[in-house]
Amino acid sequence: MSVPAGVSVGQRLQVTIERLVFQGSGLGHLPDGRVVFVPYTAPGDLAEVEVAEAREDFIRATLVRVVTPSPVRVAPPCRYFGNCGGCQWQHLEYAAQLHWKREILHELLARVGKLSGVPVAEPAVPAGPWEYRARAQFKIFAGARLQIGFHQRETQRVVDLDRCPLLDARLNDVLRTLRGMRDPALHKLFPRVREVWAAAGTGTGEVVVSLFARAQDRAAIRLLFHRIQAEVPALTGVVLLDGDPRQHPRFVDRHGQGAILERVGDCRFRVDATAFFQVSGLAAGTLTRLVMEAAALTGTERVLDLYSGVGTFTVPLARLTRQVLGIEANAAAATDAVQNLRSNGCPEARIVQAQVEQVLPALAKDGPWDLVVLDPPRQGCSRQVLDAVTGMGVPRVIYVSCDPSTLARDLGILVPAGYRCLSLQPVDLFPQTFHLESVAVLERTA
């Protein structure tokens, strides 16, 4: 595509930032009306920027310097901010982050979902804005020396970190210990490691480290366990898996435990090293409270919990209603869910390990169902799932979303199909980033 007249890549401009947009960039306008997107800016900044990409209707630019700072701009505490891709908003006051997350959600509902009048609450805040992450997925590059950290913004390069201010202290201890390892046996192991995941249990104190590697070196795994445990006494297990962590990796070996225990309210959950769980037990507790309040169970309902994971919602739902059926595709998570139902005194509830799309049509015929809980991954629900839900005529739907853009898209399908959005509660599980969780409550009207 040709560069528009009057603007060239590499050219420097001054832009006033007007607002923030989804994925975190600031937005301004050129005198000719074209939109300019600039990462790491704040609403109210007068910024000098350099054009990185110029198209007919918008421009992407990088921040050169802040000429006049916004009143909501603060000094980011992390020296890696702007290079590491983990955070986008450390330069914003936290109150401003919450304000703009709500504004962005409103904008997406209108632009993507074609919806108006949806009652969006002020964001709920489960924990403080720092040291809230009890799970981390460290990237590895083993060149002349071991590099461990997170990906650089919009690249696959590893930003080598010595600590992260978002991580639970135990995970920073794991990071520091891994960086300090110089044992020859471990040096042979790490070039074959793709990622290292670490999880710290909330309320239980347990820590489990998982290595995704093209390796079957059991001796190295035992050595790694003892090296980390010497610095992180809470460590209870190291797990070795083969393959891509997002493509059903194969279990190879473990030393110690292969899962952690999480406490959410008065429920306890076993969470396998490869199973999804919220960023912390506090985060899971906030979402569970919102779901249970919205469910308003009387004890007679039949409930479908779709994308049920390890049973975070299935367990408390099963305690208070007649019948609950959870559907989960991940085998490890589904196995954990069955065990978690039993250990929490809910053996009558059922878990089916399958893709939601595969089993929902048959379940629709097994109705009527009184409530459907949707907690899909970031890509949201497929049209097949949404059509099945609307076709079932379920009186109430609770949609737990981890991506406001796909939530807006899916609400834009559910509402015209006969549902009214009673409430939409944003939940800030990821301070210092643009990410936003939300709980939408929908009621059948037609």
Could you tell me the pTM of the whole model?
0.94
Looking at residue 191, what is its pLDDT? 66
pLDDT (tens digit, 9 = 90+) per residue, 254-270?
899 999 999 999 999 99
For tokens 């409930």, what's the residue?
Answer: 303
Using pLDDT thresholds of 50, 70 and 90, give the confidence band for residue 215.
low
pLDDT tops 90 at residue 66: yes
Could you give phi then psi for residue 394, rounded to 5 degrees?
Answer: -65, 130
Residues 6+ apart with CB under 8 A from 41: 17, 25, 26, 28, 47, 63, 66
The Cα diameter of the chain in Å comes to: 69
Residue 220 has what pLDDT? Answer: 77
Range with the poorest average pLDDT among 13-17, 65-69, 247-251, 280-284: 247-251
- For the segment 206-221, the average pLDDT, to the nearest whole number, is 81
pLDDT at 141: 84
Across the range 313-326, mean pLDDT stands at 96
**Residue 129 and residue 430 in contact, taking contact as beta carbons nearer than 8 Å:** no
What's the rounded mean pLDDT across residues 282-293? 96
Which tokens go with 94? 């936290």
For residues 205-225, give the mean pLDDT. Answer: 82
| CA 404 – CA 402 distance, rounded (Å) | 7
In 3D space, the residue among 180, 147, 145, 150 whose CA is nearest the CA of residue 165 turns out to be 150
Position 114 pLDDT exceeds 90: yes
Closest CA to 40 of 154, 182, 184, 137: 154
Cβ-contact 364, 356 below 8 angstroms: no
pLDDT tens-digit readout, 357-378: 999 999 988 889 999 999 999 9
- Residue 43: name the closest of 99, 83, 82, 86 by CA: 99
Q: Does 1 have pLDDT greater than 50? A: no
Taking the C-alpha atoms of residue 314 and residue 329, their distance in angstroms, rounded to an integer, is 15
Cβ atoms 148, 179 nearer than 8 A:
yes
Question: Which residues are tagged catalytic?
Answer: 402
pLDDT recorded at residue 2: 41
Among the ranges given (2-16, 118-132, 201-215, 351-365), the one the predictor scored with the smallest mean pLDDT: 2-16
pLDDT tier at 216 (50, 70, 90 boundaries)? low
Task: State yes or no: pLDDT of 183 exceeds 90.
Answer: no
User: What's the pLDDT tens digit per position in 123-180?
Assistant: 999 999 999 999 999 998 877 777 899 999 889 899 999 999 999 999 999 999 988 8
Residue 335 is predicted with a pLDDT of: 95
- For residues 213 and 107, the model is more confident at 107
Q: Which tens digits make up the pLDDT trace of 320-330?
A: 999 999 999 99
Strand partners, 207: 200, 235
pLDDT band at 310 (very low <50, low <70, confident <90, very high): very high
The pair of three-digit structure tokens given for residue 26, joined into one six-digit string? 């600031």
Phi-psi region of 243 (alpha: psi -120 to 50; beta: other; left: phi over 0): left
Give the domains, in start order, of the chain with CATH numbers: 1-73 (2.40.50.140), 102-127+279-444 (3.40.50.150), 135-263 (2.40.50.1070)
What is the side-by-side order of every strand in the sheet holding 323-328?
350-353, 323-328, 302-306, 371-374, 396-401, 437-444, 419-427
Region 102-110 average pLDDT = 98
Q: What is the dihedral of CA 222, 227, 232, 237, to 10 degrees?
A: -10
Better pLDDT: 218 or 63:
63
Rounded to the nearest 10 degrees, how much is the dihedral formed by the CA atoms of 157, 162, 168, 169?
160
